[in-house]
Structure 1
Amino acid sequence: MLELLSPPPTDPLFALVAELGAVVRPERLDLLVGVYRDQTGTTPVMAAVREAELRLAERGESKEYRGLSGNQAFNRAMTSTVLGTEDLISRATAIQTVAGTGALNLLAEFVHRTAPGATVWISDPSYVNHRPILESAGLTVRTYRYLDAEGRPDQAGLLRDLGQARRNDVVLIQGCCHNPTGVDLSAEAWDTLAELAAHHGWVPFVDLAYHGLGDGLEADLLPTRTMASRVEEMLIAVSCSKNFGLYSERTGCAIVLGPSQQALRHVESTLQNVARVLYSMPPEHGAAIVTTILDDPGLYATWRTELDAMRTRINANRSDLVAHLDSLGCDRPAGILAQQKGMFSMLPLTADQMLRLREQFAVYGTGSGRINIAGVSAHRIPYLANSIATVLDTPTRPTPDPHLAHH
C-alpha cells in the first residue's frame, strides 16, 4: 500500500520554516510564523495565564472527559465576549474546538452537512489554510477581490464580486487584522456587506483570530457584532492562540447564530457529531485557563492590560518601520504599510524580491510578501528597512551591515 502513496504538496510556509531552521547566519530575521514576540524575541506566557494555571493546579480538578462540546463554561464565556449583548447571545450556540483551525474545520463540515457542495467565498488573498480546509470538506471555493493596486481595500471590486453570491452561499470574512494583508474593511464596508447578506440571503462566516491586536478588543469585535445584529444566520470561528498566547494549547470555539433558539435546536448536536468523528473531545487545559481569566474581574483586567501592551508594541513596530522606509525614499511601501493593522503586514514586494531578502539578508517572510511585524525587535527595524530598500533598489538607501544586524 505505502508504495502507492504519492508525495503530497509541500506547505509553503512550513517549508520556509524548515529552511530557516538550518540558517546559522547571526543576522537572520524570522518573520514567518504568526506568533507574538516581545522585545527580547521571546513568545511570553502572559501573567494572567500564569496566575490562572496556578489556580487550576491548586484546585486539582479531575482530568475526566468534558464531553463532545468541551468546557461549557468556556463556551458561554467566549460567546459573551465575542457577541457582547444578551440579544445576540440568546441567538447563539457554541462548541469548544481544537483552536481556530479546528473551528474552521468544524464549521466547514457543518456547512457541508447542511448544504453539500455549497459555495464558500473567500478573499483574494486569504489565510493560506482557508481554501484547503473548505475544499477538504467538499465545498466549492470562489474568491472576491480584496485589495487594489495601492494596497487599499477594493470595496467596489469586493461588492461587485459578492453581488454574485446567492442564497445559502457562505461568505468568509476575517473579523479584524486580515491575514495575510493586515488591511481591514471599513465600518461602511461592513454595513454594506450586512445589507447584501440580508438582501441576498448568503451566510456570513467570520474568522476571528486576532481580536485585540488591531484597534483594541471592543473595536476589533464591533464589525462582527454589527454583522450578527443584521443577519439571521451567521458562523464564527474563534481562536485564543494569539490574544491569550495559548498557541500550543489549541484553544478555540465555533459559534453559530440563528434567528431563534428554536432554529438552533439541531445545531449543537450536529457540531458534536462532526467533532466526534474528527477528534472526539477537545483539550481542556487551555479552555480552563481562558474561562478562569474571563470569569475573574482581577485576572480579566490583567489580561486586558497585557493585550493592550502587545497591541501597542505591534503598532510601534509598524510605525517605526514606516518611518525608516520613508527616510530611505521608499514612499510607496511606507504608505501601504501605514494602512495595515495587527500582527501581519504585506510588503509590496515580488516573490523574487522576497527571495533576495532571504538570500542576501536572511530576512524570512513568505513569498507573497507577508511578514510578522510582531516578530522583529525594535533595534532590528533599521536593518529590516534597509534590506527592503535594497531589494527595491531605492537610490538613497545605505547597504545594510550584516555584522551589526544582530546587535
Structure 2
Amino acid sequence: MVKRYLKKQIDVDAGLEVGSSSPQVVAVVSSVIQDIRTNQDAAVRKYSEKFDKWSPASFKLSEAEINAAIAACPAQTIRDIEQVQRNVAKFAKCQRASLTDFEIETEPGVLLGQKNVPINSVGCYIPGGRYPLLASAHMTILTAKIAGVPNVIGCTPPIEGKIPNATVAAMHMAGADQIFVLGGVQAVAAMAVGTETIDKVDFLAGPGNAFVAEAKRQLYGQVGIDLFAGPTEVLIVADDSARPLTVATDLISQAEHGPDTPAVLITTSERVAKESMAKVEELLAGGLSTAAVASVAWRDWGTVVVVDDLDEAYTLADEYASEHVQILTKRPREALDKMRNYGALFLGERTCVSYGDKVIGTNHVLPTRKASRYTGGLWVGKYLRTVTYQEVVRDEASGQLGRLCGRAARAENFEGHARSGDLRANLFLKDSFDWIK
C-alpha cells in the first residue's frame, strides 16, 4: 500500500494500549478508591470538596430538587430531550427484541434453554466538566431501563458549583431511580464499592475523563463495566466527490472534544486532502468558540493520508479501528462490506458523527484505541446477562448422559464428577458400580 502523509499525528506509529493510563493517574485513582473503601461517605465528601468545590448537605437530589431542575430548563430543551430519547428508545427496543429466550430439546428428554436476564443494579456516569454531556444520560440510563434493569443510579458532577439542570432533567426523564450530583473518581468509586448513602451497583457505564476511565479499569472485576474508553476519535474516508468544507467541519466537530482527540482523513484525492486541510485552518481561525481545544487536537493529533484507491483506504481505516468512521464517497454503503473495525459507521454526507453523538438514536458510548477490533459499543445487550438452564426429563436420557459423563470425567481424572454420572446411570438404567453400596 502506498501512503502519502500530508499531515501526521505526533505518535501515529506508537500505538496506544487499550485501558492504559499514565502512572500519575493510576496512583491518584488507586489512592482515592482505597480511601473511599475505608472511609466511605467521609472520603467521598473530601474529594468532592477538593476536586469540584462541592459539598451540599446531600449529594442525592430530592424529588423537589429534580423538579426544580426540570422547571429551570427552557421548554425547548425539554422538548428536544423528549425527541432524542424517543429516538434512542426506539433503537434500543429493537435491539432488545432481537435478543430472544429459547428452549430446545437436543435429545429426547434433554431440555436446554437460554434466558436474557437484566443486571440488578447499574451505575451510570454522566460527564460534566468542559461540556455537560446530557446526551450520555439517554445512552446509558435510558438504555439500561429498556433492558429491564430495576435499579439505575446516575451521577453527574456540578458545573461551576451549581446543579446542571439540563443534565438532571435528561437523567430523570431517562428513568434514573436515584440521581446524585457527584463527579469524578469519587462518584465512580462510591457506586462500585457502596457507602452509607450510595448503594453498591453491579455494573458501571458511561464515558468520562482519564481519571474516570482509570477508576473503571481498576474497579473492573469487582463490578462489570461497559468498556475501556480513551479520547474521542474520528476517521473520515473520502473520495474525490467529498466536499472539503464537509470534511473539515466534521473533523473539527470531534476535535473539539479534547486536546488529545485523533482526527484522521484518508482520501483517494490529493485535492480533497489539501483543500480540507486549508478549510480546517480557516474554520479554526474563524471564531469557533471551541477553537482553543480543537486547534490543539488538530495540531497534535490530526492526520491526512492520500492513498491510491478506496480499497486501500478501507484497509488502512481498518488498521486504525477508529471509534467513529465517516464515509464521504460516491457509494458510501460499500463500507458495510469493505470494513470490519469501527465503533460506529456513518454513511454519506447526510449523516454526520454529531448525529450519533447527540440525536439519531444509536449509542455514543463506543470503543476507542483500537478496541473495536474485538468489541462493539454500549447497547441493550451489555445490561443483560445471558444465562442458561438445563433439565433432563426422561430416565433413559439421564442414564445415558450418566454413562457418558462417567467416561468423559475419568478421562480427565475427575472421579467425583464421574460418580455424579454413575449415580444417574445406576438410578435410571440400573448400572452397578463398586462405589455404590
Using the size of structure 2 for normalisation, the TM-score is 0.25
- Which structure carries more relative contact order (alpha carbon 8 Å, separation 6+)? 1
Using the size of structure 1 for normalisation, the TM-score is 0.27
Greater CA radius of gyration, 1 or 2?
2
